[in-house]
Structure 1
């Protein structure tokens, strides 16, 4: 059995940076440490953070007089001011790629453009970006939603950094037909794009495609969607314990990819389990 592990699997730059900042804060231990929402979408890593004394909060009020770590997804702009009023020390781990999207939204909103965000309206990154344009953005997840918005305004469109290029293209192509003045900023993270392309290439040539990552992870879910497009025998698991060994019985080629919140040790556990079954 041949095992293919996709390039760019596992922690992305933004997640590594957020974790590094968090554990540096733990070493200093000046105050209680919280994250604004779960730091990453991976239960195993979250449990390790809890063991180090780092818990998450959903509101600023729950983090008074403490250190608050802003996760890589970013936050609405007004949260920074609220933190100051509550004597909260901010450690900002917003991914630089996400910060660029936030700044574009703010700049063009201030210049009179209606902001359009292509992405999931419930995703924390999208909620955060919307907070940089006074929560006035149109948030579009599917191209048919364009019919429900006022396209007579001048618009600036940005992307949630983890969406697929196909989704971006389908929505922007439709917008460009209807909006006279449209500024387009494809803000999909290059690492996300590379990860998705590598996933597709491997899925095309294997008998079984394994996608590893948290079930609440947006980028992992998108990898699973891509895998299913090219390999009917695709599965999404969070840990090696969830891998159905019987699926390997008739497989000669197995592919593996992992979301941006998946640590290397979980990927290695899955590889070892396959190797023990007869992989190489």
Structure 2
């Protein structure tokens, strides 16, 4: 039997970056380190980070109130998860009595920037992804109230009328599915802007 190893095996660079950021502060041992929900989607690595003293607060979707008890001189650090967060969540976390460190995957940050740019031009954003996934929840916060999450062609058919549409994707979706959905969207909205935002490591 031949075993073929993928060239992209292991963590993508965005996840490795988030781990490095959180681990750096934990290894220094000068500050308590917290993450707003799980830093990444990997149980074994999260257990290793917990052993380093990194504590997960908040929740999977980064929606709940963060409650942390610490000494006045502890100077705790809050690290934003690799999946990113909404502008509202960012403002909330920055308002806490904690240092703020952003470990959002830069690729996810680029997606958020593209959504924000088109939202300011009065585009409705259509996101291909899981509506319960923290990345999608975070990205929806950049749509200025004009965001829609789709997973199927039927979801596209059921969209309300859109004056201008911009299609992006959750970074971890499958390219062939995105292409099929973008083709279907353009049958209804020929002028739709389609931006392939799927991570190359997927």
With structure 1 as the length reference, what TM-score do the two structures score? 0.65
In the alignment, what sits opposite 1:91? 101
Task: Answer yes or no: is the 8 Å Cα contact 1:14–1:95 preserved in 2.
Answer: yes
Q: 1:62 and 2:67 equivalent?
A: yes
Output aligned runs, 1:1-280, within 5 Å: 1-58=1-58, 59-63=64-68, 66-192=76-202
Q: CA deviation at 1:37?
A: 1.1
C-alpha separation in 2, matches of 1:156 and 1:129: 13
C-alpha separation in 2, matches of 1:13 and 1:84: 25
Q: 1:52 to 1:135 in 2, by over 3 A?
A: farther
Task: Answer yes or no: is the 8 Å Cα contact 2:171–2:197 preserved in 1.
Answer: yes
Q: CA deviation at 1:153?
A: 1.7
C-alpha separation in 2, matches of 1:66 and 1:129: 27
C-alpha separation in 2, matches of 1:109 and 1:152: 13
Task: Answer yes or no: is the 8 Å Cα contact 2:36–2:57 preserved in 1.
Answer: yes
Count residues in correspondence. Answer: 192
Q: What is the DSSP-based 3-state SS (H/G/I as helix, E as strand, rest coil) of the residue aligned with 1:72?
A: coil
C-alpha separation in 2, matches of 1:126 and 1:135: 14
CA displacement, residues 116-169 of structure 1 (integer Å, 9 cap, x when unaligned)? 101111111111111112354100011211111124420111111111011101
Across the aligned residues of Structure 1 and Structure 2, the Cα RMSD in angstroms comes to: 1.7
Q: Structure 1 or 2: larger helix share?
A: 1
Point out the structure with max Rg over C-alpha.
1
With structure 2 as the length reference, what TM-score do the two structures score? 0.88
CA displacement, residues 11-49 of structure 1 (integer Å, 9 cap, x when unaligned)? 110111011101111123333211111111111111111
Task: Answer yes or no: is the 8 Å Cα contact 1:154–1:180 preserved in 2.
Answer: no
Q: 1:63 to 1:169 in 2, by over 3 A?
A: farther
C-alpha separation in 2, matches of 1:127 and 1:135: 12
Q: Which has the higher contact order (CA 8 A, sep 6+)?
A: 1
